[in-house]
Amino acid sequence: MTDDSTAQAPGSKIDTTRTHSARIWNYWMGGKDNYPVDRLAGDAVAESFPEIRDLARTSREFLVRAVTHLTRDAGIRQYLDIGTGMPTANNTHEVAQSIAPETRVVYVDNDPLVLTHARALLVGTPEGVTDYVDADLRDPDAILAKAADTLDFDKPIGLMLMGILGHVPDEDVQPIVRRLLDALPSGSYLVSYDGTDTSEAYNQAIEEGNKHGDVPYLLRSPEAIAERFEGLELLEPGVVPCPLWRPPIEGARRGLDQYGGVARKP
């Protein structure tokens, strides 16, 4: 990635003057698929809260454990991953298809850079399917319509909402989650996590980072995050800090300010 800070990267629709959470997250994880504006916002958070990089790592580890369980133990063979972010190691399709090569995965994002890299790098197994949808979380009907080209909505689906609902206003979170879940059959699962307001340092860091970003990220209480699982059958140990979701990381002391859970639709 170049340091070009012009309004738009040559020959693309990528606006390099505006931040994007996927590119900032990529920067925190040590990636190169970001722009100066993303690094500015990322540094603003990391300066006061260096643990943000631990949160990036432990959130990916949570994804790996959750997808492993659903694919290996619950028999899930379809995933709808909304808010894909930049390709890194152990993406949803890599984890799932390493266990069940026939698994079908649809990634959703609305950033041109994310989609460009996803199409180039997120290549699945010959037996399975890996597809990409350009859509916004705030338009769940469009997501569902496009995902139906690849996924069978008569069979269980793993819905992944990983660190993305923090960008949605309070009043819109439950309607979006409900709309997506209502379209899924019994036996489907919701896997979700987001940052929590459980650390004053994290609160202050996110507040500072939001000054540089176009789409603010909202930290919520663990109780508020648990509300998105209402009406579902939560798997043990419930909604907990990501490093503590099964199997817990022994002696985990960092990366605890993100809560996540996995739940089955009855």
Listed in sequence order, the residues at least 6 apart from 250 whose beta carbon sits closer than 8 Å to its beta carbon are none
Are the CB atoms for 130 and 107 separated by under 8 Å? Answer: yes
Percentage of residues of the chain with pLDDT beyond 70: 86
Global model pTM greater than 0.95? no
The answer to which of 38-47, 208-217, 252-261 has the lowest mean pLDDT is 208-217
Listed in sequence order, the residues at least 6 apart from 252 whose beta carbon sits closer than 8 Å to its beta carbon are 58, 241, 243, 244
Higher local confidence (pLDDT), 266 or 14 = 266
> So what's the pLDDT on residue 180?
98
The pLDDT confidence band at residue 30, using thresholds 50, 70 and 90, is confident
Residue 4 has pLDDT above 50, yes or no: no
The distance of Cα 62 from the centroid of its chain, to the nearest Å, equals 11
pLDDT tens per residue across span 195-222: 999 999 999 888 887 887 667 899 999 9
Higher local confidence (pLDDT), 255 or 64 = 64
Average pLDDT over residues 211-236: 92
Strand blocks (E) in the chain: 78-82, 104-109, 129-134, 158-162, 189-195, 233-234, 240-241, 258-264
